[in-house]
Amino acid sequence: MTARATLSLAGTLCLSALMGCATTVRRLDGEVTTAAGPARNACERESWLVIAPTHTEQVEPGHKLTTPRNDGIGLYRVGDDAPESIPGLRDELGDPPFVITHAEKVKRHDDKRVLAASLGGAALVALGIGTVLFASSFETQGEGTAQEELHIDTGRAVGGGLVFALGFGLGIAGIVVSPSPSERAEADAWRYAFRPPEDDLKEVKGMVEKHNLDLRKRCGGSSAESAER
């Protein structure tokens, strides 16, 4: 395996990891109002949730390409354009069935990403060790003399080649199990947005409204007064 091929594999592994961090979800204009209204003070703004229309990409059954959708809603902190992770809000929102479903869908994707990253990391380590072993198997004896000759440590060279081949195999396996762009887009949608018909958006609105009113009460405000408004 040439150094160019090694670098190419390493670059592919790194690119796969970076692509796993990209998101196809973005906030759209406007907000969905609730009886709680907007946050009133610094205490409320710290944990307040804003509901806003959100763009996602969905993989239709039987298709590999994604379809853009603008009918979802995401949850945002006050002043933020980046949506909050739905599974990451379970401590605040509790475990209603639709939140659990989102967490389960995301977990399947994330497990594949972790496996791919683990294989990729092991591959890079093995490639490095194999390269060092193979390169160090060549020694020049009697350098600078008439008897100068190249000596090859056959055992080390073979060992280095085997370790390198193992690393290459692990790298290929990491690329194979890594989620595809469409899988990542679908996982992003489950992670950051509620969408019909999978989710009842009225129930989501009620859940967030309850969260914000409870927060107002903890911050010293009156949830009853805000509900009346």
DSSP codes, 162-210 = HHHHHHHHHHHHHHHHSPPHHHHHHHHHHHH-B-TTTS-HHHHHHHHHH
Judging by beta carbons within 10 Å of its beta carbon (0-12, 13-18, 19+), is residue 145 exposed, middle or buried?
Answer: exposed
Query: Residue 147's pLDDT is what?
Result: 62
Ordered by start, the domain boundaries in the chain are 3-139+150-206
Given a contact cutoff of 8 angstroms between Cβ atoms, the answer to whether 75 and 84 are in contact is yes
- The reported pTM is 0.71
Sign of CA dihedral 226, 89, 98, 68: positive
**For 140-159, what is each residue's pLDDT tens digit?**
665 656 666 777 888 888 88
Among residues 174, 179, 202, the alpha carbon closest in space to that of 66 is found at 179
Query: Residue 12's pLDDT is what?
Result: 53
Among residues 40, 69, 108, the alpha carbon closest in space to that of 199 is found at 69
Query: Residue 24's pLDDT is what?
Result: 85
User: Band of the pLDDT at 5, cuts 50, 70, 90?
Assistant: low
Among residues 195, 179, 177, the alpha carbon closest in space to that of 58 is found at 195
CA distance 144 to 35: 87
User: Band of the pLDDT at 108, cuts 50, 70, 90?
Assistant: confident
